[in-house]
A and B are shown apart, each in its own frame.
Chain A
Amino acid sequence: MSVIRAQGLTKNFGKFKALNGVNLEVEKGEVYGFIGPNGAGKSTTIRVLLGVLKATEGNAEIFGMDAWTEAVEIHKRIAYVPGDVNLWPNLTGGEVIDLFVKLRGGSQRTKREELIDRFKLDPSKKCRTYSKGNRQKVALIAAFSSEAGLFILDEPTSGLDPLMERVFQECVKEAKNEGKSILLSSHILSEVERLCDKVGIIREGKMIESGTLEELRHLTRTQLHVETREPSPDLVKIPGVHNLQKNGRAATFQVDSEKLEDVISYLSSYGVLKLESAPPKLEDLFMRHYKGENSGPSGEGG
C-alpha cells in the first residue's frame, strides 16, 4: 500500500516553474531518500504534500487522502521536521514540544522524556538561546515522540553534531522497525545511503531517477583497484573500462557493472595479487546526474 502517492505535481510561482510533473511513491514501512541540490524542488514538493502549498496541477495523496483537502485529517498521522526550524523566541523548548505534541494529539510522556535525554536537550531554555542544532532537536523530539505513521523530514540533520546525527539515525531505524514510513530529504548522501531503501533524485522540478539503491547502482560503475604480477597492457582496450590510471603493475579504474565479468577474466590471466572493489557511492550517482552531458566519463572522479 502506498503511503504517499504523488502524480504529475506541478507548482508555479508566477512564471517560475518550481515543480514540473513530480511523481513520488512511498510504500508503507519504507525509508525513502529524497535528494537533489538546493532549489531543485524538494521543499516545494514537501510543502505540497503537507497541504501548505496548493499544487497547480497533479494530485498528491497521503494515506489515500487528498493532501490539500484532507490536510487536517492526514496531519493527525504524520510528523514533520523542517530543515530551518523557526521557533518562538520567548517559549522554552519544553513548551514548544508539548504544544506540538498536544496539537497532534496522542503521544506518550515517557517517549518525550526518553528522547529529550537521548538528544541531550535542555528543555527549560528559551528558544531564543538555542543554536540551529538545538532548534532541530526540539522539532525532532516532537516528531519522534508522536505516534505518527509517516515522518516527513526535510534536511533534519543539517545542524546536528555527529553524535546527535547518530541518535537521529537510530530514531529513524526504530521508526522503520515499527513499520512506519519515512520521507527523508537530505544533502548528506552517506546518511541517505545508510538509512534509505529507496532513493529519488529531483532536478529542476523533475524526478530524474528513482528506485532502490541496488537498482540505481546497476546503472553505474564499480570502482576497482588491482595489482597484478604481470603488467596488463590491454586493460584500456576492454569496453566498459573508464578513468584508467596506471602506476606500474597497479591500476585504478571504474568499470560498467555489466562488464565486470569480462574485466575480471581478462585480469586473472595476469595473476591478481590484490583486488579492491568499492560499490559506487550515491555521491557518484548523484554527480553523474548533475554533471549531465557537459563532461564525459573522463570528467568523473573516483
Chain B
Amino acid sequence: MKSRLFKNTATLSRFIFKKDKFKMALWIVGIGGFTLAVAVAFPDLYRTAAERQQLAATMVNPAVTALVGRGYGLDNYTYGAMMAHQMLGMTTIIAGLMNILLVAKHTRADEEAGLTEMILSLPSGRLSTMGASMTVMAVLNSIMAFAVGLGLFSTGIESLDLEGSLLYGAVIGAIGLFFAAVTGLCAQFTESSRGTIGLSIAVLGGAYLIRAAGDVSNETLSWFSPIGWVLGTETYVNNYWWPIVLTLAAAICTAVLAFYLNTIRDVGAGFFPSKPGRMTASVFLRSPFGLALRLQRSSLIFWTLGIVVLAVTYGSVLGETEIYFEDIEFMEEFLPVMEGVSLTDQFLAVLMAVMAIIITIPALLMMLKLKGEEKNQRLEPLFSLPVSRIRMMGSYLLLAVLSSVFLLLVSGLAMGSIGVAVIEEGELAPFITSSLVYLPAVWVMLGVTVLLIGILPKYTGLIWLYLGFSFMTVYFGDLFQMPGWLTGLTPFDHVPGMPVDDFNIMSAAIMTVVAITIGAAGFLGYLKRDIHG
C-alpha cells in the first residue's frame, strides 16, 4: 500500500532538482552569501569588545527586540551572539519564504496547471508529487543548514565555533523544513497556488508577530511560535539543540497530516471551498483609475507595510546615532562631521534620501503596470471602449503620483513617531518635511517612465538603470568622490538634504516643471503610437 502511494517519488524528486536547480542554487547562495557577508563585516565594523558592548546597549529597546528578537549573551556580546541576535531572526523569515514559494510551486501550482493530473495518469503513486516535494525540501534544507553552518565556521572568526555554527545552520534548515510542511498542508486546503502562498505566509507572519509580541511582553507567548522555538536555541551562547528536535518533530507531524489529507481528497480540489467572488463590480471598479488601483491594491498594501517596518527600524536607531557612529571610521567617510550640525540630523538626511529612492520603486511599478497590461494584451479590449489614451495613461500616472505622496508621508510619519520617542527634544514635523521634499525628484523619475512608455516602450527597463545610478550617487557619491556633473544627472542630487539643508523652493519648482515637461512629451508619444495588444 505504502509503496503504491509513493511510487515514482524518487524519479519525480530528481526531476524537480533538475528543473529547479538554478532557482534552488540561487536561494542557497543568496541566504548563505548574505549571512557570511554580514559575519565577515562585523569584525570590521566593531573592532573591540567595548564597541560591541556599546552596540549591545543600543539594542536593548522594545522596537529592536520586536524586530529581531530577544538578545542572548548581551553582557558578553561576541560576534556569535551578534549574529544570532541581529541576523538569525530575519534569516528564518527568508528561509520560510523560500520553502513556501518552492513547495507551493511543486504542489498546488502544478496541480492548478493540470501537471499533477498528467503525472498521476502515469504509473505514479497518489502521494508521489507531494512526496517528491517534501524529499527535495528535506535535501535542500539540509544542504542549506550545512552550507551556512560550515560557512560560518570556516570564516575563522573568534566565537563562531563549530557547534554554534552548525546550530545556526540547523536553525535555518529546521525552520525551513517546518514551513515546507506547513505549505504542503496549506496546499491541501486552498484550490489556488496564490491561496496556498497567502495562507502559508499568513502562518509565517503570525509566527513572527507572536514571537515579536511575546519577546517584548510575555516570554511564554514566544513559545507558541516556531520562530520563537528556534531562536530559543540561544545559538553561540548556550547552544541548546532540543528546540531543533522540537521543530523537526512538528514539521514531521505537519507533513504526515498533509499526506493524509492529500490521500482523502480529489485532485484539483481543496478542503476550503473556493469562495465565490463578487458577482458585480463595486462602484470603485468603474473607471480606468479604479481598475489601476484595484489591480495594484495588494501590491500597494505590501509596499506600505514594508516601508513602515523599514522606517520604524531606521527611526529606532536614531536615538543612538551619536554613540553609534562616533567611533566608527567608515562612518566618518560616509558622513563627514559638519560644524553646528548634529550627527543625528545628518544621518536622518541620508536615511530620507535612501527611503525616497526605495519609495520610488513602487511608484515606478505603478506606472510601468500600464506597459505590463499592454504586454499581457489587456489594453486592447479597454481601448475598444470609449476610453482615450490620455485618460488611460493619466489614470496610471495619477495613481503613481498619489502613491508617491502617500508613501513618503507614511515613511516620514513612521520614522518620526519612533524618532520623537528616542531623540531628545524630537519633533514630528521635520521628519515629514524631510521626507516630502523628495516628491519632485520622484516625479521626475515618473516623468521619465511616462516618456519611455510613450516613446520607447521596448526599453522601459532603462528606468531601473537610472534609479540604480541614482542610488549609487546618493549613497556612495561622497565616498567615491564622484564629480558634480555626474551626480547632478540624478534628480535626487538636487533635493536639499533636510533637516541639514534648508528647503529650496527654486529646485523643487524647477524639478516639478521638468517632470511635467518630460511627462507631457511621453503623453504625446503615447497618443501617436500603436498599441500592441
Residue A99, interface by CB 8 Å: yes
Query: Are the CB atoms of B388 and A139 closer together than 8 Å?
Result: no
Residue A200, interface by CB 8 Å: no
A139 contact set on B, CB distance < 8 A? 381
Proximity string of chain B (375-394) to chain A, C-beta cutoff 8 Å, 1 when within and 0 when not: 01110111111111000000
Nearest CB of B to A148, in Å: 10
Q: Which of B286, B376, B380 contacts A99 (CB 8 A)?
A: B286
Q: What CA separation (Å) do A123 and B280 show in the bound complex?
A: 8
Query: Are the CB atoms of A50 and B384 closer together than 8 Å?
Result: yes
Query: Are the CB atoms of B286 and A75 closer together than 8 Å?
Result: no
Count how many pairs of residues, one from A and one from B, have CB atoms less than 8 Å apart in the complex. 104
Query: Are the CB atoms of A124 and B277 closer together than 8 Å?
Result: yes
Proximity string of chain A (83-95) to chain B, C-beta cutoff 8 Å, 1 when within and 0 when not: 0111110111011
Query: Are the CB atoms of B530 and A103 closer together than 8 Å?
Result: no
**Interface locus among B125-133, B287-295, B301-309:** B287-295
Query: Are the CB atoms of B280 and A76 closer together than 8 Å?
Result: no
Nearest CB of B to A207, in Å: 22
Q: What CA separation (Å) do A71 and B381 show in the bound complex?
A: 13
Query: Are the CB atoms of B281 and A99 closer together than 8 Å?
Result: yes
Query: Are the CB atoms of B278 and A124 closer together than 8 Å?
Result: yes
Residue A73, interface by CB 8 Å: yes
Residue B531, interface by CB 8 Å: yes
Query: Are the CB atoms of A123 and B279 closer together than 8 Å?
Result: yes
Contacts of B333-370 to chain A: CB distance below 8 A: none
Residue A215, interface by CB 8 Å: no
Residue A126, interface by CB 8 Å: yes
A104 contact set on B, CB distance < 8 A? 385-386
Residue B403, interface by CB 8 Å: no
Contacts of A140-160 to chain B: CB distance below 8 A: 152
Query: Are the CB atoms of B277 and A94 closer together than 8 Å?
Result: yes
Query: Are the CB atoms of A72 and B388 closer together than 8 Å?
Result: yes
Q: Which of A50, A92, A105 contacts B383 (CB 8 A)?
A: A50
Q: What CA separation (Å) do A79 and B280 show in the bound complex?
A: 20
Q: Which of A78, A82, A98 contacts B381 (CB 8 A)?
A: A82
Query: Are the CB atoms of A52 and B386 closer together than 8 Å?
Result: no
Q: What CA separation (Å) do A84 and B380 show in the bound complex?
A: 11
**Number of B residues with CB within 8 Å of any CB on chain A:** 34
A41 contact set on B, CB distance < 8 A? none
Q: What CA separation (Å) do A73 and B376 show in the bound complex?
A: 26
Contacts of B271-286 to chain A: CB distance below 8 A: 274, 276-282, 285-286
**Number of A residues with CB within 8 Å of any CB on chain B:** 44
Query: Are the CB atoms of A94 and B388 closer together than 8 Å?
Result: no
Q: What CA separation (Å) do A50 and B531 show in the bound complex?
A: 11
Query: Are the CB atoms of B531 and A124 closer together than 8 Å?
Result: no
Residue B47, interface by CB 8 Å: no
Query: Are the CB atoms of A82 and B386 closer together than 8 Å?
Result: no
Query: Are the CB atoms of B530 and A75 closer together than 8 Å?
Result: no
B23 contact set on A, CB distance < 8 A? none
Query: Are the CB atoms of B384 and A75 closer together than 8 Å?
Result: yes
Residue A125, interface by CB 8 Å: yes
Which partner residue on chain A sits nearest B376 by CB separation? A86
- Give chain A's interface secondary structure class: mixed
Residue A47, interface by CB 8 Å: yes
Residue B192, interface by CB 8 Å: yes
Q: Which of A50, A88, A94, A128 contacts B295 (CB 8 A)?
A: A88
Residue A80, interface by CB 8 Å: yes
A47 contact set on B, CB distance < 8 A? 380
Known contacts A52-B531, A123-B279: A72-B386 contact under CB 8 Å: yes
Residue A246, interface by CB 8 Å: no
Nearest CB of A to B283, in Å: 9
Residue B528, interface by CB 8 Å: yes
Q: Which of A74, A95, A126 contacts B280 (CB 8 A)?
A: A95
Query: Are the CB atoms of A105 and B386 closer together than 8 Å?
Result: yes
Query: Are the CB atoms of A78 and B285 closer together than 8 Å?
Result: no
Query: Are the CB atoms of B276 and A125 closer together than 8 Å?
Result: yes
Q: What CA separation (Å) do A50 and B382 show in the bound complex?
A: 11
A73 contact set on B, CB distance < 8 A? 386
Closest 7 CB pairs of A and B: A98-B281, A80-B384, A92-B277, A124-B276, A102-B286, A75-B386, A95-B281
A interface residues (Cβ-Cβ under 8 A, vs B): 47, 50-54, 71-76, 78-80, 82, 84-88, 90-92, 94-100, 102-105, 122-126, 128-129, 139, 152
Given contacts A52-B531, A86-B378, A139-B381, 4 further A-B contacts (CB under 8 A): A80-B381, A86-B381, A100-B381, A103-B385
Could you list 22 A-B pairs, sorted by A, with CB under 8 Å? A52-B380, A52-B383, A54-B528, A72-B386, A75-B385, A76-B386, A82-B381, A91-B285, A92-B277, A92-B279, A94-B279, A94-B281, A95-B277, A99-B281, A99-B286, A99-B291, A102-B281, A103-B288, A123-B279, A124-B279, A129-B274, A139-B381
